[in-house]
């Protein structure tokens, strides 16, 4: 707020210049209030319109029998918790919940371990460091639909490049049924999602590492803290606030992953990669049972929200420190 009021007198937008001639005293506190609210207004309108409205609408929808018919007639009978009961009672619910959990935990562990290893690696000074680091961002820059199509191709059981290479190396005789076997498909999808999440992890962790003063390492090395010890006692404690941010944001991003799964397996085979997100999508946009779809997405939102609260707490503690 303080920054807004200091900007106000010099602002050049028409609404504000009109007041320039008035002395601050005559304008009084009421006028200042109005100006303050004017500056908040865009943000409030924006949040209400693009966050508030959809969330309220989605919550309402989950308590209604919202179908294709509703679009024409505008009628959506109130059904209370019936949608939630159907969704939670369906045999698919436990599968999607477990898949969502495995997918999130697997992706986060993979992304973080590879991410921190690469971030530490890039701290070392070597030729082409900058070039390689920017190349690492490529997965982030590619459209997800394109990269999932290419991955689907590479993971093909019969003629995909991954199985061809494994066969040349005699690691497998018949090829791994990456996307065809319900027991393997989730692992394959997690692998692709790890690849996708590495740039985010490396970028944030690398910038966190840059913030650790070099003097700490110099002082530490005098006391014999080198290699693993310097990581354990200098890097890790100093990086912890960044780590918690990366992990919590990672969880929230991973929970809602939809496109990569739809592109690779569409939730199959035999629902082995169906998560809460893909299930909500299928219910709403394939089966057109929007009420049930909204119920699943609300469950997902609540889980996400839980992690967002953790993030806020962690973040506040980091700032306090």
Partner 1 sequence: MRKSTIAVAIAASVALAAAMTGCSSGSSSSGAAKALTVEDYYSQPNAGTFDKIYQACGKSIGVTVKSTHVPGAGLIAKVLQQSSSKTLPDVLMLDNPDVQQIASSGALSPLSNYGITGKGFAPGVLSAGTYKGDLYGLAPAVNSIALFYNTDILKAAGITPPKTWAELKTDASALTKGKQYGFAFSGINTYEGTWQFLPFMWTNGGDEKNIDTPQTAEALQLLTSMVQDGSTSKSVVNWAQSDVLNQFTAGKAAMMINGPWQFPVLAKFPNLHWATAPIPGKNATDVPVAPLGGETFNVPNTGNKANMSLAGKLVACITNDKNMVTEAKIGGYVPSKISIAAQVAASDPQIASFATIVKTARARTGELGAGWPAAATKIYTAEQLALTGKLSPAAALKQAQNG
Summarize as ranges the residues that interact with partner 1 (CB under 8 A): 7, 10-13, 15, 38-39, 41-43, 45-46, 49, 67-74, 90-91, 152, 156-159, 177, 179-182, 265-272, 285-288
Q: CB of 180: closest distance to partner 1 in angstroms?
A: 4
**Residue 119 Cβ, how far from partner 1 at the closest point, in Å?**
32
CB 231 within 8 Å of CB 120: yes
Give rounded-to-5 percent helix, strand, coil for the chain.
75, 0, 25
Q: Where are the beta strands (DSSP E) in 154-294?
A: none
Q: Closest approach of Cβ 45 to partner 1, in Å?
A: 5
Min CB(285)–partner 1 separation in Å: 7
CA 210, CA 217: separation in Å to the nearest integer? 12
Beta-carbon count within 10 A of 295 CB: 26
Opening angle at CA 208, ends 206 and 214, nearest 5: 95
- Which is nearer to partner 1, 89 or 227 (by Cβ)? 89
Smallest distance, partner 1 to C-beta of residue 146, A: 17
Give min distance, CB of 79 to partner 1, in A: 17
Categorise residue 289: left if φ over 0, alpha if ψ from -120 to 50, beta otherwise.
Answer: beta
Q: Which is nearer to partner 1, 211 or 287 (CB)?
A: 287
Tokens of 109: 């562990």
H or E element in which residue 227 lies: none
**Among residues 51 and 309, whose Cβ is nearest to partner 1?**
51
Distance CA 62, CA 290 (A): 8
Residue 39 CA to residue 169 CA, distance in Å, equals 64
Closer CB to partner 1, 153 or 236, in the complex? 153
The residue (of 71 and 81) whose beta carbon lies closer to partner 1 is 71
If the CB atoms of residues 32 and 158 are measured against partner 1, the closer one turns out to be 158
Q: What minimum distance in Å lies between the beta carbon of 222 and partner 1? A: 46
Closer CB to partner 1, 30 or 74, in the complex: 74
Residue among 264, 97, 96 nearest 178 (CA): 264
**Can you tell me the distance from the alpha carbon of 263 to that of 293, in angstroms, rounded to the nearest whole number?**
20
């Amino acid at each position: 707020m303080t920054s807004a009021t200091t900007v106000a007198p010099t602002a050049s937008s028409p609404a504000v210049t009109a007041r320039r001639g008035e002395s601050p005293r005559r304008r009084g506190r009421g006028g200042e209030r109005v100006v303050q609210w004017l500056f908040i207004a865009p943000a409030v309108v924006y949040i209400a319109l693009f966050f508030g409205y959809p969330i309220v609408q989605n919550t309402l929808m989950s308590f209604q029998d919202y179908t294709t018919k509703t679009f024409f007639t505008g009628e959506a009978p109130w059904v209370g918790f019936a949608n939630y009961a159907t969704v939670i009672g369906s045999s698919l619910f436990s599968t999607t919940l477990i898949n969502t959990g495995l997918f999130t935990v697997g992706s986060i562990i993979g992304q973080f371990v590879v991410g921190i290893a690469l971030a530490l690696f890039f701290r070392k000074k070597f030729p082409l460091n900058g070039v390689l680091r920017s190349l690492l961002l490529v997965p982030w820059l590619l459209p997800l639909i394109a990269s999932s199509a290419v991955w689907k191709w590479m993971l093909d059981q019969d003629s995909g490049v991954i199985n061809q290479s494994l066969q040349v190396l005699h690691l497998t005789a018949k090829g791994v049924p990456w996307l065809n076997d319900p027991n393997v498909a989730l692992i394959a999808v997690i692998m692709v999602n790890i690849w996708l999440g590495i740039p985010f992890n490396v970028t944030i962790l690398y910038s966190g590492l840059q913030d650790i003063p070099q003097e700490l390492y110099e002082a530490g090395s005098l006391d014999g803290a080198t290699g693993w010890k310097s990581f354990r006692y200098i890097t890790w404690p100093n990086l912890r606030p960044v780590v918690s941010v990366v992990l919590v944001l990672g969880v929230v991003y991973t929970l809602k992953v939809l496109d990569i799964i739809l592109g690779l397996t569409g939730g199959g085979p035999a629902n082995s990669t169906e998560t809460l997100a893909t299930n909500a999508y299928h219910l709403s946009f394939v089966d057109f049972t929007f009420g049930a779809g909204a119920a699943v997405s609300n469950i997902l939102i609540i889980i996400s929200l839980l992690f967002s609260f953790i993030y806020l707490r962690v973040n506040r503690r980091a700032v306090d420190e």
